Chains A and B, each alone.
Chain A
Amino acid sequence: MTMDNTILTLVAFVPLAGALLLLLFPRNDNAIRWGALAISLLTFVLSLHLPFHFDNSKVGFQFSVDHSWIGSPNIRYHLGVDGISLWLVLLTTFLVPLSVLISWHSVHDRVKEFFALLLVLETAMLGVFLSLDMFLFYVFWEATLIPMALLIGIWGHERRVYAAVKFFLYTMVASVFMLAAIIWLYVHAGSFDYATIRTKLATGEIALGGNAALWLFLGFFIAFAVKVPIFPLHTWLPDAHVEAPTAGSVLLAGVLLKMGTYGLLRFNVALFPDEARRHAPWIVALAIIGIIYGALVAMVQPNLKKLIAYSSVSHLGFCVLGIFTFTAMGTDGAVYQMLNHGVSTGALFMLAGMLYERRHTYEISEFGGLATPMPIYATFFLLITLSSIGLPLLNGFVGEFLVLNGAFQAKALFGVLAATGVIWSACYMLWMYQRVFYGQVTVPVNNTLPDANLRERIALWPTVVFALIMGVASSLWMNAIDPAVRAAIPSAAHGMEAAQKRASASRQGQPAALGSEKKSFEVSRR
């Protein structure tokens, strides 16, 4: 029992234990708030052990724990992190204390339940990133649903019940397909273990006869595509985001969406590289549609929170694009963009929530000239806006640059189309910023709005600081991400060129229809 093989269990389950502890607290709202903050900070401090003891030179999973849980089916309690999940775990533990801070006064009804659910949600989210047993992964995946749906449905805004049910059903129905794929793999591999299944798939020990590979790929893909969300499966997202309480939005955008892109990388690309390459054309097309469509829809939103929600659709499009370029650079960028989006969009939702606390509306037309009464708040908002649109020296730039670089390597058209997304995002974000903060105060009541108070500033400072550090010292993160990414896509270094060759080689003997599709894709590449 050393620290290295208990740390993941500790990180994952301290929030859950804390939630149970909170339930035993007397109904003293302040004590509960402080308790939740202490527990989430403790989890964050514990999780800091990981980056400081993570060995970048080693490929594969570290800090592993592996115990037998259930004998039939053979389910193991198997946790571990690699360079990809490491930072997603840190992102989660980083955002939860901020969510607690941001909910300090905005949640005044059933405070105990709120913070308990928030901590349960944290355990579930961490479990998703830590699990190396596919069954365990599915359990945590489903477990995120219940607290999140309750957070939306109980503490949300007017149409909260509709949004909560839509969120739950969308995700649950989609993940049934993933469960079917996981069980299929179990039946053929005799194990739920991620590494075992990956090896057996790679060596051909699991025979993927007929269309099995296709169905498995699609089974995982649907579950993750809904979560990301990839156009046209995104319709639950604006509802859920707009109706959720601020902390719910922060974690939904900051962490839950990343579960989708993480899954795409971990399962779809790493387990079924050939299928992933075969289907890359239309997935990339959907990602680019998502980037442009999300941006255009964001531009016309009269509602601040909905604008941020659609900007997520656009930003996540970059992540999907980066992953499906099969270049190390693109995928590095995608992983980095996941972290950036977590920090900057999380912060944007926090900022929007602060405005809502003051005015109880998200309508952009209700604001205007806010920079005068709220200068500090306006400065924070500006920094985060710039980080979100990818200004050099801030975090968003690094991720978008890498993704676009990868996209150009794969195919110039991808890069050109996706790059317009950067322009669009500058348009809608800056236009929104102008309408909300510049000019004269148009609605008199806004003159009296108090500026960001100490608690709010404490919640915002970390995001701004990280936006800057991640912008200028990306190697701190990249040193761990890059080897893990290269391990996840073996031929990543060779780019899509090799990928295409491998895909066509593995496809010999397929019907002509598929061949022609490949050809058209190759033609359009030139």
Chain B
Amino acid sequence: MNQIHGIDYICVLPEIILTVFGIAIMMADPLFAPKSSRKSLGILALCGAIASALATVAQSTYLSTPGDADAMSKAFFGMVAVNTFSIFFHLLIALIVIVVILASYEYLDVQHINLGEYYGLILFGAVGMMLMSSATELVLIFIALEISSIATYVLAGFRRKFASSSESSLKYFLLGSFATAFFLYGIALMFGATGSTNITEIATALRGGNTGVLAYVAIALMFVGIGFKIAAAPFHVWTPDVYEGAPAPIVGLMSTAPKAAAFAVLLRILFAAASADAFHSAWSWLVWVSAALSMTLGNIGALVQNNVKRLLAYSSIAHAGYLLVAFLGPATGPENGISAAIFYTASYATMNVGAFCIVSHLAGDGERYVTLDDYAGLSQRSPWLAAMLSIFMLSLIGIPLTGGFFAKYYVFNAALHANLVGLTVIGMINSAIAAYYYLRVIVVMYMQESKTDAPVLPVPASLGVAVILSAAATLYLGIWPQRVLDYAVRSAHDLMR
């Protein structure tokens, strides 16, 4: 098979759509007057994101006929694989992007950011993230990682008038490129050890043994690179500073979508490529240490934060830790760790992106109102936003009937099936610590009097839709998790095939 078939393009249809819309936005941008609002470009971007979500759904209809499953699964000479695994992440990323664009719609005007490329970069970033979840070729994964990273580096610096935003962008860029270099070095070593950069071929080579110590080093280096992207300890130090300076909707994006994509890559490398017994025991202690460190450092760091963005940054480190616990669960079987991890990414994304939508609205001009003191008495100034933020906080704690509960349940259940009692206990203790600082947000909103003159802007329709979508998804995952979990189990199965 030396030619590219038409169906190959359907395999990357969501990415193509996003690219086309992104380019259209870039080209349309100069047509606007310099200081005018770019709201119409936001609508264009929203259409693009919705179209790519629909394209992903269309892909899944191809998969639903069993005969075509194999024809669809590989494209471009085995560089891209479309199956339930990739579709799950594509859809998740598309939905996150939709919510983020909705949240940005009014935010940009409030912040006086009149730059159309903001939307273009979000779409380009999404292209990279989506490709990360479907690529089965290390080099393509690297390129996708770069596409997504460079877009987010730039987006982090969009509040150009503020030093903190530039600092955020620069820090993210320097440390990020350092980390991707690690990842690239890992790819090179893996190529040296196995003679291939294709996941399937690497898996075969590793299973055969005789790859020497080089392969171990390669996996460790790739873990470092991805560990940076998912903000797992000890590669997490950049997170609070970057999240604090970057525009709030962008933090909502980069704490969820690229993370989800990076977790997809990590799942693919660790489970699809290096699941042979010898390698499993080699990387599992790496993941164990990183998970325990992330949970502990993240939660302890969050305890003393007064800035809501920093608080959520530390919380995202902790959640990366919980997620890594799932990696240690069994690879197959009905209660496997992979599906637990997949479910966790989805549920974490819904609650976190929702929380950042609210943060971005409350921040006000120049993001002045982002400390806990500014949230005091919010329940009186804006009862609905306070109620929604409470749902997200309760979900982050892991209270039943919210997505966060089942996410944690499946993760620790998988860990217990792998007899990781110690790590489960660490996780449980951490969940209890975490309850304190999430609760503090609720306490401040409901039980303290307003301390600032922070104006309560009426909630714009677009933001309202974004918040309600996220809250509905959070509750849906907490009350009827079955469908999403079933899909996650199928995805896990497809990944391991």
Contact = CB atoms under 8 A, between A and B. Distances in A.
Interface string B391-425: 00010000111000000010001001000000000
Given A113-B383, A138-B400, A146-B399, A70 B481 contact: yes
A289 B255 CA distance: 52
B213 to A, nearest CB: 38
Nearest to B429: A176
A9 to B, nearest CB: 16
B9 interface: no
Nearest to A70: B482
B295 to A, nearest CB: 15
Nearest to A72: B485
B85 to A, nearest CB: 19
B469 interface: no
A145 B12 CA distance: 48
Interface stretch (A158-166, A321-329, A407-415, A506-514): A158-166
Given A70-B482, A138-B400, A153-B446, A146 B428 contact: no
Interface stretch (A167-175, A251-259, A366-374, A438-446): A167-175
Contacts of B481: 70
B431 interface: yes
B416 A187 contact: yes
A165 B436 CA distance: 9
B401 A172 contact: no
A110 B448 CA distance: 14
B27 interface: no
Given A142-B400, A168-B439, A169-B435, A160 B482 contact: no
A154 B416 CA distance: 39
Given A110-B380, A153-B446, A176-B431, A165 B400 contact: no
Contacts of A168: 435, 439
B400 A139 contact: yes
B447 interface: yes
A153 B482 contact: no
Interface in B54-69: none
A123 to B, nearest CB: 12
B386 to A, nearest CB: 10
Given A138-B400, A143-B400, A172 B482 contact: no
Nearest to A161: B447
A176 B425 CA distance: 11
A142 B413 contact: no
Nearest to A141: B400
A378 B380 CA distance: 39
Nearest to A109: B380
Contacts of B334: 72
B175 interface: no
Interface string B465-492: 0000000000000001110011000000
B443 A139 contact: no
B436 A169 contact: yes
Interface residues on B, range: 20 to 34
A72 B446 CA distance: 35
B269 to A, nearest CB: 27
Nearest to B400: A139
Nearest to B433: A173
Contacts of B435: 168-169, 172-173
B400 A71 contact: no
A423 interface: no
Contacts of A160: 447
A172 to B, nearest CB: 6
A48 interface: no
A73 interface: yes
A45 interface: no
B401 A143 contact: yes
A183 interface: yes
A180 interface: yes
A154 B447 contact: yes
B71 interface: no
Contact of A71 (B432, B436, B482): B482
Contact of A165 (B413, B432, B443): B443
A478 interface: no
B487 to A, nearest CB: 12
Contacts of A197: none
B62 to A, nearest CB: 27
B447 A164 contact: yes
Which of B379, B428, B439, B447 has the largest number of chain A CB atoms within 10 A? B447
Interface string A255-296: 000000000000000000000000000000000000000000
B440 to A, nearest CB: 8
Contact of A183 (B413, B439, B482): B413
A384 interface: no
B432 A176 contact: yes
A354 interface: no
A156 to B, nearest CB: 9
Contacts of B379: 113, 154
Nearest to B424: A180
Contacts of A150: 446
B433 to A, nearest CB: 10
Contact of B446 (A73, A142, A154): A154
Interface string B371-397: 000000001100100000000001000
B480 A70 contact: yes
B75 to A, nearest CB: 32
Contacts of A138: 400
Contacts of A169: 435-436, 439
Contacts of A143: 400-401
B443 A153 contact: yes
Contacts of B431: 176
Interface in B325-345: 334-335
Which of B394, B409, B439, B448 has the largest number of chain A CB atoms within 10 A? B439
Contacts of B448: 161
B413 A161 contact: no
Contact of B443 (A72, A161, A172): A161
Given A172-B432, A172-B435, A176-B431, A142 B399 contact: yes
A144 B435 CA distance: 16
Interface string A373-389: 00000000000000000
24 contacts: A70-B480, A70-B481, A70-B482, A72-B334, A72-B335, A72-B485, A72-B486, A73-B413, A138-B400, A142-B400, A146-B399, A150-B446, A153-B443, A153-B446, A153-B447, A160-B447, A161-B447, A169-B439, A172-B435, A173-B432, A176-B428, A183-B413, A187-B413, A187-B416
Interface of B: 334-335, 379-380, 383, 394, 399-401, 409, 413, 416, 428, 431-432, 435-436, 439, 443, 446-448, 480-482, 485-486
Interchain residue pairs A-B with the least CB separation, the first 9 = A153-B447, A139-B400, A161-B447, A71-B482, A173-B432, A70-B482, A142-B400, A154-B446, A154-B447
Given A71-B482, A72-B486, A139-B400, 15 more contacts: A70-B480, A70-B482, A72-B335, A72-B485, A142-B400, A153-B443, A154-B379, A168-B435, A168-B439, A169-B436, A176-B432, A183-B409, A183-B416, A187-B413, A187-B416
